[in-house]
Amino acid sequence: MADAETLPQDEASDASADGRQSARRTWLYRLGALVIVAALVWGVYYLLFGRNHVGTDNAYVNAEMAQVTPLVSAQAIDVRVTDTQPVRKGDLLVRLDPTNAQIAIAQAEADLAEARRRFRQTGATSQSLSAQVVARDADIVQARAALQSAQADYEKARVDLQRREALVGEGAVSGEELTAARKAFASAQAALAQARAGVSTAQATRNAATGQLEANDALVRGSTVETDPSVLAAKARLRSAKLDLERTIIRAPIDGVVTKRQVQVGQRVAQGSPIMTIVPLDKVYVDANFKEKQLRGVRVGMPAKVTSDLYGGDVVYHGKVVGFAGGTGSSMSLIPAQNATGNWIKVVQRLPLRIELDPKELKAHPLRVGLSMDVELDLSDR
If asked whether residues 179 and 70 sit together in one domain, one would say: no
If asked whether residues 148 and 207 sit together in one domain, one would say: yes
Name the domain count of the chain.
2
Instruction: Report yes or no on 367 lying in a domain.
Output: no
Instruction: Report yes or no on 21 lying in a domain.
Output: no
Mean per-residue pLDDT of the chain: 83
* φ, ψ dihedrals at 61, nearest 5°: -75, 140
Instruction: Report yes or no on 359 lying in a domain.
Output: no
Q: Domain boundary at 222, 243, 264, which?
A: 243
The residue among 215 and 79 whose pLDDT is bigger is 79
* Domain hosting residue 127, numbered range: 101-243
For 109-140, write each residue's pLDDT tens digit.
999 999 989 888 877 777 777 777 777 778 78
If asked whether residues 105 and 197 sit together in one domain, one would say: yes
Instruction: Report yes or no on 11 lying in a domain.
Output: no
If asked whether residues 121 and 80 sit together in one domain, one would say: no
1 pLDDT above the threshold of 50:
no
If asked whether residues 122 and 91 sit together in one domain, one would say: no
If asked whether residues 160 and 88 sit together in one domain, one would say: no
Question: What local confidence, expressed as pLDDT, does residue 317 receive?
Answer: 94
Question: What local confidence, expressed as pLDDT, does residue 42 receive?
Answer: 63
Q: What sign has the CA pseudo-torsion 245, 246, 247, 249?
A: positive
Instruction: Report yes or no on 23 lying in a domain.
Output: no
If asked whether residues 124 and 206 sit together in one domain, one would say: yes
Instruction: Report yes or no on 311 lying in a domain.
Output: no
For 140-179, write each residue's pLDDT tens digit.
888 888 888 888 888 888 887 777 777 666 666 667 776 8
For 171-230, write each residue's pLDDT tens digit.
666 677 768 777 887 888 888 888 888 888 888 888 887 777 777 676 667 777 788 888
Q: Do residues 95 and 305 make contact, with C-beta atoms less than 8 angstroms apart?
A: no
Q: What strand order describes the sheet that includes 276-279?
A: 66-68, 276-279, 256-259, 86-87
If asked whether residues 154 and 74 sit together in one domain, one would say: no
If asked whether residues 93 and 185 sit together in one domain, one would say: no
Instruction: Report yes or no on 172 lying in a domain.
Output: yes
Instruction: Report yes or no on 350 lying in a domain.
Output: no
Provide mean pLDDT across the span 41-62.
73
Q: Domain boundary at 225, 258, 279, which?
A: 279
If asked whether residues 184 and 211 sit together in one domain, one would say: yes
CA distance 346 to 247: 54
Element at 355 (helix H, strand E): strand 350-357
Question: What local confidence, expressed as pLDDT, does residue 106 receive?
Answer: 95
What is the CATH classification number for the domain harbouring 153?
A: 1.10.287.620
